[in-house]
Amino acid sequence: MPKIDEDSNRSLNKLGRPPLKKPKTLVIPSNTTTTSHRPFDFNFSINNGSSPNNGDFPNEQWKYPSFLGTKTRRKRVSVKTSKTQKLEFSNPVGAGAELGDGDKNKVGKSSVVPAPPLPASSSSVTLPAQSNTRRPLESKPSPILYLLIVTCIISVPYAAYLQYRVAKLEGMKLDRCCEDGICNNNGRGSLEQNDGSFSYSLNADSRTMALYIVIFTLIMPFVLYKYLDYLPQIINFLRIRKNNKEDDVPNKEDVPLKKRIAYMVDVFFSIYPYAKLLALLFATLFLIGFGGLALYAVTGGSFAEALWHSWTYVADSGNHAETEGTGQRIVSVSISSGGMLIFAMMLGLVSDAISEKVDSLRKGKSEVIERNHILILGWSDKLGSLLKQLAIANKSVGGGVIVVLAEKEKEEMEMDIAKLEFDLMGTSVICRSGSPLILADLKKVSVSKARAIIVLASDENADQSDARALRVVLSLTGVKEGLNGHVVVEMSDLDNEPLVKLVGGDLIETVVAHDVIGRLMIQCALQPGLALIWEDILGFENAEFYIKRWPELDNLSFKDVLISFPDAIPCGIKVAAEGGKIILNPDDHYVLREWDEVLVIAEDDDTYAPGPLPEVRKGLFRRIPDPPKYPEKILFCGWRRDIHDMIMVLEAFLAPGSELWMFNEVPEKEREKKLFDGGLDVPGLMNIKLVHRVGNAVIRRHLESLPLETFDSILILADESVEDSVAHSDSRSLATLLLIRDIQSKRLPYKDSRSSGFSHTCWIREMQQASDRSIIISEILDSGTRNLVSVSRISDYVLSNELVSMALAMVAEDKQINRVLEELFAEEGNEMCIKPAEFYVFDQEELCFYDIMVRGRERREIVIGYRLGNQERAIINPPEKSVPRKWSLDDVFVVIASGD
């Protein structure tokens, strides 16, 4: 047995290993699939010269032994034990240098990896492998790939051989022609033969080169697809061999190159919108060029002619039918197939582009290019009435443009608007789907060019709706181009109004819909018929407010200005010296100054103008004082969130000793808490006394517990619990109205004795008799319900949604009108009133309307219209004001009077 080297034994003793006793070779090859994060893998092969296959055993996977310490990257270490034995260690990546006796300390940055102990009684060493570590299975190349490679290798030399044979045969033909005497004796034929051979050889070489390029181009995609992932490994291996640095060892956990290329292509097509068209154009040019090159290789024509034929095959798939020759037909069919594929892709791209454009138009994603339009942000039940009023306002100018931006589908919005079934009178309504909180969507509807912007309250509760309105106002203030028009914001709670005005500044006009309707209901309860008058004034169908300057009225007193308009009624002055403050019902001795404007009630802004002063009768008329206020008994059916504001208004209007009964389902303690949170001082009420009753207003038994026949006015409120549902709220109000009227009619001491038997109108007649004793004001949200209430004439009503829409439309047309409405709806200052005729005329007295206006000024009132005793609706701004007529004491007059 050979002698073991002493240096090797000493090295093994330092590592804690027993000396080698047999001439064995322990080979630890590198595992190229092991990463720096996996356990170290050892492959042991022991060759003692006695086993078959030269002592080679199958490779096994070994876990890096824990007693060797922390695993680090190492170069290959070779320890010689004797002339026939050699111990080799391999680093994880298989890159390193063998060290001999004198190089065993030169192992780079890491220390020497000792070999595991070898058992003396066995020629094979087996270490337990880690259970969750497996060598990845190498994918075997497909047989088709091998067949394709072999075919290409055989076909290329064979094609070259055929080209050589063709050239040789042509040369033999030319030689034979010269031998037959075709060439002349001067050697001119030999020269021509040489010239023809050179030209033909050059042409043949170019065709051969074209054939090689075609074949190479066909093979390269398959080769690249198969071996593309190995390209980074080859590059890194060459870099490591060149630099000999361990830091340049490639990371085996990198994403494969094919996946990275696929990802880059995907990102490219996603980011750039015209990437598909560019790719299709490149594919078309490549197919034409590659097909032309292939045709040039298999035909006898020029390269330009081959390119033209390639284009015809791409453009017309049936153009290859007349080709001759096997090679030319194969190439032409291939080009035509590629052309069909390209045109199919082109058709798909065009179809997708058209579908996307149509879809964007259908969904309302296109930009609105308009100017001086009205923009409505949001969607609510008031939108139908609002569109109707704006259309009527635009009728005088031939129509306009209204743009609606809401978070609904464009088709759904258009269908809802079409269901309204009213004539827009030349006004166009454009719907766009988007969020008013997104600046991009606001720019899409040309928000900076709109002459007015209306922000509708959402169908959420009051706080959420006002919070959303505040965010919309913040979005509008963030428009970089600025806003040319003013913004009208519909608020739900009066307490949130100051915050919105603080954010929006002077461009913001707020309409607190809920509080306006609450105050209007109280005014209508105290003055029956006032709701219809407000419908006529707020709507654009009849007379409405306008402000305009008239220089010819300068230096005239207001009492003369009052009768200067035959087609309008002046109501106030916009004082330029006080910053544009509007004074309603000014003093008669106020003289108009330069730049002052006149507030009037007229049919339209172009239907009135000042005229000469008419002659009026200035006869004396006794001034009848207003009747004293008496205590009243009022019932509230339902609960509104602004009921504390309504109570404050009643406190200002009612006489001391009045009672307010509150009948709803809210517990009494919770009511007191809500009233206190709303800022109402219940013990501090001086004129009214609160009486609480708990019950359901649609249950007859609960209503019968109330003294319904004793109330002067009953207000049926849209209850807070059902105000989000228009149909449910109106159904509840209508049911409550019918139950109350029926109970009142049964308790009255008189009935119609002429009604015998059952009649379908007898119950209506009884309820109408009950309405003479008690006033009921119903809050109606849907205009369709108005017909059910008005036909029976058993109740007055307030169409809240429509009145709010009218107010929004009026303020959108002229934001100055908001100051007028705020004063008329407030509990202090001037208000709209209905006065009896005895305050202004004698019975059957013949006077013109100008005379009555002059008599109204003696009471510091402005008479704006009248209602005859035999008519249901009032006439505001009557025509022919100078024509006299007889008046009855049953008539009433509509005036603007001071509430002082």
pLDDT in tens, 539-551: 888 888 999 999 9
Higher pLDDT, 96 or 741: 741
Half-sphere exposure of 336 (CA within 13 A, CB side): 17
Q: Which residue(s) pair with 376 in the sheet?
A: 404, 454
Q: How big is the chain by its Cα radius of gyration, in Å?
A: 50
Residue 496 reports pLDDT greater than 60: yes
Residue 14 reports pLDDT greater than 70: no
pLDDT at 111: 40
User: What is the rounded CA–CA span in Å between residue 168 and residue 174?
Assistant: 10
CB 761 within 8 A of CB 699: no
Give one DSSP letter per residue of 626-667, joined into a string: PPPP---EEEEES--TTHHHHHHHHHHHSPTTEEEEEEESS-
Higher pLDDT, 832 or 3: 832
Mean pLDDT, rounded, for 423-433: 89
Q: Write the CB contacts of 761 (distance below 8 Å, at least 6 apart in sequence).
A: none
Q: Which residue(s) pair with 798 in the sheet?
A: 779
Written as six digits, the tokens of 140 are 């075997």
End-to-end CA distance of the chain: 133
Query: How high does pLDDT run on average in the chain?
Result: 75
Mean pLDDT, rounded, for 745-757: 57
Residue 146 reports pLDDT greater than 80: no
Mean pLDDT, rounded, for 617-625: 71
Reported as a single tens digit per residue, the pLDDT across 262-306 is 778 777 777 777 787 888 888 888 888 878 888 877 777 778 888
Q: Which among 286, 283, 273 is positioned nearest to 342, based on CA atoms?
A: 283
Residues present in the chain in total:
900
3-class SS at 165?
helix
The amino acid at 807: A
Higher pLDDT, 93 or 348: 348
User: What is the rounded CA–CA span in Å between residue 887 and residue 259?
Assistant: 95
Triad 267, 272, 277: Cα angle to 5°? 110
The amino acid at 899: G
Q: Which among 456, 435, 446 is positioned nearest to 376, based on CA atoms?
A: 456
pLDDT at 494: 82
Higher pLDDT, 727 or 854: 854
Largest Cα span, the chain: 155
User: What is the rounded CA–CA span in Å between residue 636 and residue 642?
Assistant: 13
Residue 759 reports pLDDT greater than 60: no
Task: Tell me the pLDDT band of 120, cut-offs 50, 70 and 90.
Answer: very low
User: What is the rounded CA–CA span in Å between residue 199 and residue 823?
Assistant: 105
Reported as a single tens digit per residue, the pLDDT across 561-598 is 999 999 999 999 999 988 889 999 999 899 999 899 99
Residue 126 reports pLDDT greater than 70: no
User: What is the rounded CA–CA span in Å between residue 886 and residue 251?
Assistant: 107
User: What is the rounded CA–CA span in Å between residue 805 and residue 481?
Assistant: 29
Written as six digits, the tokens of 492 are 């739900």
Reported as a single tens digit per residue, the pLDDT across 448-461 is 999 999 999 987 77
CB 449 within 8 A of CB 479: no
Reported as a single tens digit per residue, the pLDDT across 844-891 is 889 999 999 999 998 899 999 999 988 888 999 999 899 999 999 999
Residue 699 reports pLDDT greater than 70: yes
Written as six digits, the tokens of 720 are 């807070």
CA torsion sign, 418 to 422 to 426 to 428?
A: negative
User: What is the rounded CA–CA span in Å between residue 112 and residue 103?
Assistant: 11
DSSP H helices, 654-781, are 668-677, 700-704, 726-747, 762-771
pLDDT at 103: 42
Q: Which residue(s) pair with 88 in the sheet?
A: 27, 78
User: What is the rounded CA–CA span in Å between residue 755 and residue 170?
Assistant: 128
3-class SS at 112?
coil
**592-602 burial string, b = 16+ CB within 10 Å, else e?**
beeebbbbbbb
Higher pLDDT, 363 or 498: 498
Pairing state between β 568-575 and 581-584: antiparallel
Task: Tell me the pLDDT band of 102, cut-offs 50, 70 and 90.
Answer: very low
Residue 70 reports pLDDT greater than 70: no
E-strand spans in 759-815?
A: 775-780, 796-799
pLDDT at 28: 43
Q: How many CB atoms lie within 10 A of CB 200?
A: 15
Long-range CB contact pairs, 764-770, < 8 A, 24+: 764/792, 764/794, 767/738, 767/741, 767/742, 767/792, 767/794, 768/792, 768/793, 768/794, 769/745, 770/709, 770/741, 770/744, 770/745, 770/794
pLDDT at 51: 41
Q: Which of 209-218, 583-592, 641-650 has the lowest mean pLDDT?
A: 209-218
Q: Which among 672, 681, 601 is positioned nearest to 648, based on CA atoms?
A: 681
Written as six digits, the tokens of 571 are 């109501």
User: What is the rounded CA–CA span in Å between residue 676 and residue 258?
Assistant: 72
User: What is the rounded CA–CA span in Å between residue 900 and residue 861?
Assistant: 12
Q: Which of 261-265, 282-286, 475-479, 753-757 has the lowest mean pLDDT?
A: 753-757
Higher pLDDT, 328 or 415: 415
Mean pLDDT, rounded, for 473-494: 89
Task: Tell me the pLDDT band of 704, cut-offs 50, 70 and 90.
Answer: very high
Q: Which residue(s) pair with 660 in the sheet?
A: 634, 690
Q: Which residue(s) pair with 796 in the sheet?
A: 777
Q: How many CB atoms lie within 10 A of CB 313?
A: 27
Distances (CA, A) of 837 to 624, 834, 877, 893, 899: 11, 10, 17, 6, 19
Residue 390 reports pLDDT greater than 80: yes
Task: Tell me the pLDDT band of 770, cut-offs 50, 70 and 90.
Answer: low
Q: Which residue(s) pair with 658 in the sheet?
A: 688
Higher pLDDT, 71 or 631: 631
Mean pLDDT, rounded, for 643-653: 87
pLDDT at 774: 74
User: What is the rounded CA–CA span in Å between residue 222 and residue 240?
Assistant: 28
Residue 37 reports pLDDT greater than 90: no
Written as six digits, the tokens of 743 are 């109970």
Residue 836 reports pLDDT greater than 70: yes
Residue 614 reports pLDDT greater than 60: yes
Residue 340 reports pLDDT greater than 80: yes
Q: Which among 126, 104, 108 is positioned nearest to 117, based on CA atoms?
A: 126
pLDDT at 619: 61
Q: Which among 865, 883, 777, 795 is positioned nearest to 571, based on CA atoms?
A: 865
Higher pLDDT, 433 or 52: 433
Residue 87 reports pLDDT greater than 50: no
E-strand spans in 250-352?
A: none
Query: What is the value of pTM for the model shown?
Result: 0.65
